[in-house]
């Protein structure tokens, strides 16, 4: 069975500075505080994200300090090799209002976009709780 992947994007307002937020997007310890139950990184720079005792491995394919980070999941089957799932977390500031936004870009085979939106809203709520924003 082939499931087609979908692109989900959303902007979330976070009341914290970009410099304060960035470590929570890029470091295993920061990500463990809000994004996953646990995050570790191997010497080969493979990140392991754990949710409900299930491991998902990814590599950071690109990043720019205080701007964005992109993780690509390691392929679990032939289809993933051609079309890998990934997520990207971007930090943006509205110049007019000086408001910080976390832009989430999630490309995966998650079928229900409403459910995925609820999931990300919950995750970002965790992040706001951690950073006090």
At 77 the pLDDT is 85
What is the DSSP secondary structure assignment for residue 75, as one 8-state letter? P
| 48's tokens | 């392991």
What is the reported pLDDT for 76? 85
Q: Where are the chain's structural domains?
A: 11-131
Over residues 43-72, the pLDDT tens digits come to 999 999 999 999 999 999 999 999 999 999
Q: In a 3-state reduction of DSSP, which class is residue 76?
A: coil
**Reported confidence tier of residue 1, pLDDT bands at 50, 70, 90:** very low
Q: How far apart are CA 103 and CA 124, in angstroms?
A: 10
> Which comes out higher in pLDDT, residue 100 or 1?
100
Give the separation between CA 57 and CA 73, rounded to whole angstroms. 6
Provide mean pLDDT across the span 4-16: 95
| Predicted model pTM | 0.93
Supply the CATH classification number for the domain 11-131.
Answer: 3.30.530.20
Q: What percentage of the chain exceeds 70 in pLDDT?
A: 98
Contact 66, 18 (CB under 8 A): yes
Mean pLDDT of 114-118: 96
pLDDT score, position 13? 97
Beta bridge partners of 93: 100
pLDDT tier at 2, thresholds 50, 70, 90? low
């Amino acid at each position: 069975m082939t499931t087609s992947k979908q692109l989900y994007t959303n902007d979330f307002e976070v009341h914290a500075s970009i410099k304060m937020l960035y470590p929570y997007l890029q470091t295993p310890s920061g990500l463990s505080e809000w994004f996953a139950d646990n995050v570790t990184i191997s010497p080969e720079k493979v990140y392991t994200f754990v949710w409900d005792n299930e491991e998902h491995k990814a590599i950071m394919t690109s990043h720019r300090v205080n701007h964005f980070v992109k993780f690509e999941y390691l392929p679990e089957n032939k289809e993933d090799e051609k079309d890998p799932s990934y997520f990207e977390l971007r930090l943006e500031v509205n110049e007019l209002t000086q408001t910080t936004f976390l832009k989430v870009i999630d490309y995966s085979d998650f079928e229900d976009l409403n459910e995925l939106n609820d999931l990300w809203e919950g995750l970002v709520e965790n992040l706001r709780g951690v950073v006090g924003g």
